[in-house]
Amino acid sequence: MIQIRPSITLDRNNLAAIPHELISTEKAQRMAEFFSFLGDANRLRVLSLLANKEFCVSDLAALLEMSESAVSHQLRNLRAMRLVTYRKQGRNVFYRLHDSHIFHLYQAVAEHLDEKD
């Protein structure tokens, strides 16, 4: 017998059911790469602004005190990871979070970090 949680004891014969709860190695690797990608402070700062509303590159650059080139580079990477999307309006390109999943992920982490122990 293996003790998993204090109140649950599993027979080795019943362990076959557990892999259905375990994510695949491939998905775990993709998730690790995703979270590693978010380990950049500038990318998180961009996401923090886009969590509230959409912005064009020049406005993001001004708010972040970064060059437009640097912001564009971050946005290109964020687009590649499907974290942001954009729309064109005339000569301007406006960026926003890709979907509500990204907003909720950002919000959940921010709230977790603001919690007091």
More confident residue, 81 or 116: 81
Q: In sequence order, what are the residues at sequence separation of 6 or more whose Cβ sits closer than 8 angstroms to the Cβ of residue 83?
A: 47, 97, 98, 102
The answer to whether residue 17 scores a pLDDT higher than 80 is no
The answer to whether residue 11 scores a pLDDT higher than 90 is no
pTM of the predicted model as reported, rounded to 2 decimal places: 0.76
- Mean pLDDT over 45-62 rounds to 96
Q: Please report where in the chains the tokens 């998993």 appear, as a residue.
A: 4
Closest CA to 99 of 112, 82, 111: 82
Beta carbons of 75 and 85 less than 8 angstroms apart? no
Q: Measured between alpha carbons, how far is 98 from 41 in angstroms, rounded to an integer? A: 19
Strands (E), the chain: 2-5, 8-10, 55-56, 84-89, 92-97
CA neighbours closer than 13 Å in the CB half-sphere of residue 59: 11
